[in-house]
Structures are given as C-alpha cells and as structure tokens.
Structure 1
Amino acid sequence: MSTNSRHLSVHIDRPVAEVYRFASDPANLPRWAPGLGGSVVREDGHWYVETPEGRVRVKFAPDNEYGVLDHEVLTPSGETVYVPLRAIMDGEGSEVIFTLRRSPGMTDAEFERDAGLVGGDLALLKRVLEAGDA
C-alpha cells in the first residue's frame, strides 16, 4: 500500500554539523519539537518522551556523517512510526527536510493539521539554532 507524503523544509543559517548535532540529541526534542512531548528521559539505554497520549520511545538513526536524523517512535499502543528527517548542507547553512507521511485512515484535515505542527516545529528549530540558544 502506498502512502501520501509531503516534504516540509526550512533553511537554517547555521553549519550542517551544528544543526545535526543539536537535532540528533533526543534531550533537545522539547526545545524544538514540543508537539511531540514535553519531557524526555533516558532509561536503560532508551529515550522516552511524555506525550498527551502517553509515554513513547524514540530511537534515532545511529550517528552518521550524512545528516540522517531518521527516527522511530514506538507509541503507547505498540505502533512504530517511522519519521524520515534529514539535515543537508545548503551553502554555508543547512536545510532540514521532514517527510510527513499520511497514516492510513487519516483525513485531509488531520494531515493538514500535522503538516502545520511539523512546520511550526521546523520554524522553532530554526529560531533556536539561529539565536545561538543550542
């Protein structure tokens, strides 16, 4: 079954290594992706985020030199959601690209709502990094 995807991106006026270093640290998620959850803890080698739906486990791709920030979110219901995310060089800055996948049964309104939330998270990531708050 194919899925509908939308690529959302933001240019960040910071070197790609700095963007990758900040965004790949799960402890920083509440600073730039508050829609995912408010608190992050590391227990028994795993990262957990408290969300309105309950506790989720987040697992990022291993450290790499290619800017791959893909991660999996294991939901309280046991579903694993794969999230493609990249930081690529864009001149002296970076572009962060998030691929939003439409879940089966998701309405147009829900997909648009999620796109808005992701866009807000990317804008916040840009503000945090460009302000030097990272």
Structure 2
Amino acid sequence: MGTKSRHLSVHIDRPVAEVYAFASDPANLPRWAPGLGASVTREDGRWYVETPEGRAGLTFAPANDFGVLDHEVRTPSGETVYVPLRAVADGDGTEVVFSLRRGPGMSDADFARDTALVEADLARLKAVLESTE
C-alpha cells in the first residue's frame, strides 16, 4: 500500500527562474520555512539546520532547469525524510507544489497539523518573493 500524499500549492506572481533561484538556496530556508529551523549552515560542502530536536542534515536536488526543488532531511534521530517540491511556470508567474507525505501511523490530527504548517510556509514564500522588487 502506497503512502498517502496531499499536494499543496501556491501561485507566486514572480517568474519561475526567480522563484527557483530563491527556493533552491538552503540559506534562504529560515526566511520562508522557519519551522524547519532558524539557523542554516554549510560545512564541508554539506548543509545543516538547527531544529528544536537537534542538528539535521539537508541534501538538495542538483541545480536543474526543470524546477525540481526536492530535498532530503536527515533528522537528528537518523530518519531520512524525502520532500518533493516543484516550481512550475504558470503564465508570467509560478506555481509551487509541495507533496506532503503522510507517514506510517500518522494520526489525522498530525497530518492536518503538518498540512497547516506547510501551507503557512508556502504563504510565507509567496509573501517574501512578491515583496521583492
């Protein structure tokens, strides 16, 4: 049986190349996804974020022309969470699509909480990018 996913999206009134450039830079994560962590650092070519549970590792998809922003988060407990994320051209703007996966044994309440957190992050990404000139 496959994992249940929920696809959450936001339209950003900025060109896809600009959205991709901003969202693909791990150093920008605290500006739009503060729930992941407030401090992002790069050491020996690897990215890390300080979370409430401890230090987590980040691995991002290589730079690409297809808007793929996928990344993996290695939690302090050693679990690896795969995060599918895309920036897709939508006219003169961009649709950002986050595929939220429901983990095994996750309650409806926890899945709803995670959905609300991702929706808030996407709204923050939109606000940050649309406020720049």
Amino acid at match of 2:98: F
Q: TM-score scaled to structure 2, two decimals?
A: 0.98
Q: Superposed, which structure 2 residues align to 1:1-134 within 5 Å?
A: 1-132=1-132
DSSP-derived class of the 2:2 partner: coil
Extract structure 1 runs of 4+ deviating beyond 2 A.
Answer: none
Q: CA deviation at 1:105?
A: 1.1
> Over the residues paired in the alignment, what is the CA RMSD in angstroms?
0.8
The TM-score normalised by the length of structure 1 is 0.98
CA shift, 1:77, in A, is: 1.0
SS of residue in 2 equivalent to 1:112: helix
Instruction: Report how far residue 61 of structure 1 moved.
Output: 0.1
User: Deviation of residue 45 (structure 1)?
Assistant: 0.7
The CA deviation string for residues 89-109 of structure 1, in whole angstroms up to 9 with x for no partner, is: 000000000000001111000
Please list every run of 5 or more consecutive structure 2 residues that lacks an aligned counterpart in the other structure: none
Give ranges in structure 1 of 5+ residues lacking alignment: none
Counterpart CA distance in 2 for 1:72 and 1:89 is 23
How many residues align structurally? Answer: 133
Q: Give the Å deviation of 1:88.
A: 0.3
